[in-house]
């Protein structure tokens, strides 16, 4: 197996924390996003979507979605389960990850990528150039503001995002809370349950 990744970026960080907690070591190549290596001809041959991380399995299959890598690696390395231990827990964990990705991750990325010069014509990741739409910045902030109280209420009734144990849904939310700082946002003061969860979750990955 070989992992192509770029440690500082949020989606690679999701996988990095998973590998760390599972104690899995994989041969790794850092794709330097600072020099746009993800768009290079060599990397396109590995992942035509030009995103990181990408995991090349021993039979040459390329996985490009972190959620798929979680499932694959959990199957190969079942010890220290991070996806839940029953069918229902696994379903809840994957559902929360999907919710976080399609809601919070997309909203934060939308704010980041639709403002500022660094992402001119790069409003979406991928091989194609996509122009910025400044209106999406305000919509992204609005969606983040809707999501925080919902997460706070959820974590007021449960220690962890899915089921009774720390899972990849907690990893994903932890990374997203860190990602918020990229757009100069943080957990609102009134979200006390979310803040308490953050302390618990950060201690798990320390």
Distance, in Å, from the CA atom of 205 to the CA atom of 118, rounded to the nearest integer, reads: 30
- Cβ proximity to ligand GSH, 57 vs 159, nearer residue: 57
CB of 192 to ligand GSH, least distance (A): 29
Beta bridge partners of 55: 3, 63
CB of 94 to ligand GSH, least distance (A): 13
CB of 71 to ligand GSH, least distance (A): 12
CB of 186 to ligand GSH, least distance (A): 19
Distance, in Å, from the CA atom of 137 to the CA atom of 183, rounded to the nearest integer, reads: 10
- Cβ proximity to ligand GSH, 107 vs 193, nearer residue: 107
- Cβ proximity to ligand GSH, 53 vs 163, nearer residue: 53
Are 94 and 83 within 8 A, CB to CB?
Answer: yes
Strand segments (E) across the chain: 2-5, 27-30, 54-56, 62-63
- Cβ proximity to ligand GSH, 66 vs 194, nearer residue: 66
Nearest residue to 72 via CA among 1, 134, 120, 135: 1
**Rg value, the chain, Cα:** 17
User: Which residues contribute to the site for ligand GSH (CB under 6 A)?
Assistant: 9-11, 38, 50-53, 65-66, 125
Q: To the nearest 10°, the Cα dihedral for 171, 177, 183, 188?
A: 170
CB of 10 to ligand GSH, least distance (A): 5
- Cβ proximity to ligand GSH, 65 vs 178, nearer residue: 65
């Amino acid at each position: 197996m070989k992992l192509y990744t770029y440690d500082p970026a949020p989606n690679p960080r999701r996988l990095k924390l998973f590998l760390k907690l599972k104690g899995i070591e994989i041969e790794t190549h850092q794709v330097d996003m600072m020099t746009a290596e993800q768009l290079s001809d060599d990397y396109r041959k590995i992942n035509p979507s030009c995103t990181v991380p990408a995991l090349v399995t021993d039979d040459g299959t390329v996985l490009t979605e972190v959620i798929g890598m979680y499932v694959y690696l959990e199957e190969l390395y079942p010890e220290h389960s991070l996806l839940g231990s029953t069918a229902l827990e696994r379903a809840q964990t994957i559902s929360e990850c999907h919710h976080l990705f399609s809601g919070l991750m997309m909203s934060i990325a939308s704010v980041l990528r639709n403002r500022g010069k660094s992402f001119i014509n790069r409003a979406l990741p991928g091989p194609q150039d996509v122009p910025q739409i400044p209106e999406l910045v305000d919509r992204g902030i609005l969606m983040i503001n809707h999501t925080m109280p919902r997460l706070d209420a959820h974590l007021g009734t449960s220690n962890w995002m899915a089921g009774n144990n720390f899972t990849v849904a907690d990893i994903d939310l932890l990374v997203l809370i860190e990602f918020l700082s990229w757009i100069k946002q943080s957990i609102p003061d009134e979200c006390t349950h979310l803040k308490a969860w953050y302390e618990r979750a950060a201690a798990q990955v320390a």
